[in-house]
Amino acid sequence: MRPKALCEHLLNQPGITLHQGDVTSLTRKGAGWRLQLADGSALDADQVVIASAHQANRFAQTVELPLQSVRGQISEVTLPDKVTGPHRVVCAGGYVAPALDGVLTFGASFVPNNASTDVTDDDHQRNIDELRLTLPALVEALELAGNPLSPDNLGGRAAVRAASPDKTPYAGPVPVAEAWRADYLLLSKDATRVPNKRGEHHSGLWISTAHGSQGWRAHRCVPR
């Protein structure tokens, strides 16, 4: 799968308009919401989905949702002509995908409580070590072809996963934290005393985050 091409395809569907900007705050505007952007402009919407990964709890309405940052880096190498690489995705401690346009992608490092996105030699080396465990014959074939894997000859990309404390996604309406604390107070003392109350939510405000390492798989089941 080419994620960028998929996103571009989805954006080209009828009824979709893309506005890019950093949302700094959300405030009530009538029955909907006003999104304040970092460049000073604002957008109004009747429904808002917060889908900003590990930064999703930076808004007043979501600040109480705990989120952990988990750094990850993938490594990329251009395969020499004589080496083809795997024909299927291979997953073990890490994963390696079939080469795309001659470039093999493998990884990914997993560094909890780290939100940095610089590409580092340390993470490349972890990915090489993991690939050597998963597909030793491939690493040897690259060495025999005169292209031994080394952090110096790898490309890559680093980004940040978002995780919740119990590693399940946050998906649905955004809870009103003060109301939940009062309504479900008993649960903090006795987990068997479940109050017969529906939680209160911010109307028109939704969240989709904490997809961890499996966002592409989760997006199919989360809507249910």
Ligand X SMILES: Cc1cc2nc3c(=O)[nH]c(=O)nc-3n(C[C@H](O)[C@H](O)[C@H](O)COP(=O)(O)OP(=O)(O)OC[C@H]3O[C@@H](n4cnc5c(N)ncnc54)[C@H](O)[C@@H]3O)c2cc1C
Q: x/- string (CB under 6 A) for ligand X, residues 51-90?
A: xxx-x----------------xxx----------------
In this complex, which beta carbon is closest to ligand X, that of residue 22 or of residue 178? Answer: 22
In this complex, which beta carbon is closest to ligand X, that of residue 123 or of residue 175? Answer: 123
Q: Does 50 interact with ligand X (rule: CB under 6 A)?
A: no
146: left (phi over 0), alpha (psi -120 to 50) or beta: left
**CA end-to-end span of the chain:** 23
| Binding segment toward ligand X, per CB under 6 A, in 41-49, 137-145, 172-180, 210-218 | 210-218
Work out which of 85, 94, 175, 215 binds ligand X, going by CB under 6 A: 215
Cα atoms found within 13 Å of the Cα of residue 24, Cβ hemisphere only = 7
Calpha distance 165→129 (Å, rounded): 29
Calpha distance 47→49 (Å, rounded): 7
Q: Are the C-beta atoms of residues 44 and 33 closer than 8 Å to each other?
A: yes
Q: Does 127 interact with ligand X (rule: CB under 6 A)?
A: no
Site residues, ligand X (CB under 6 A): 22-23, 51-53, 55, 72-74, 107-108, 159, 161, 209, 211, 213-217
